[in-house]
Amino acid sequence: MHEMSLAEGILQLIEDATRDEDVGRVSVVFLEVGRLASVEIESLRFCFDAVVRDSIAEGARLEISEVPGTGWCMDCSQSVPMSDKLGGCPRCGGYKVQVTGGTDMRVKELEIE
């Protein structure tokens, strides 16, 4: 389950960002997850709750916004929406599509007290 290592990485980012600040605790973590990032959202939530115990982010709420997948169709020569990395072009049906977006995950913002 790679969601555990992702949750550990999120906690490391939180700790690094708050290390030199006068922060009581982190109450909300705003996260962007690409639709094509191969992340199981509910597993990530479960792992995050487990990882942040006894940390500055214990009890923090995880707010996740999903970023749509995009690709470049070499047959259409257009940017197209994608819901699957191996899916065809929704416009022409061709499979010469290169993923261009929606594969990342990033901590966008922290709400602190």
Average pLDDT along the chain? 95
pLDDT at 35: 96
In this structure, the chain runs to a length of 113
pLDDT digits (tens, 9 = 90+) for 54-99: 999 999 999 999 999 999 999 999 999 999 999 899 999 999 999 9
SS (H, E, C) the chain: CHHHHHHHHHHHHHHHHHCCCCCCCEEEEEEEEECCCCCCHHHHHHHHHHHCCCCCCCCCEEEEEEECEEEEECCCCEEEEECCCCCCCCCCCCCCEEEEECCCEEEEEEEEC
Confidence of residue 1 (pLDDT cuts 50, 70, 90): low
The CATH number, out of the four listed (3.10.100.10, 3.40.190.10, 3.30.2320.80, 3.30.420.40), of the domain defined by the range 2-112: 3.30.2320.80
pLDDT digits (tens, 9 = 90+) for 9-47: 999 999 999 988 888 899 999 999 999 999 999 999 999
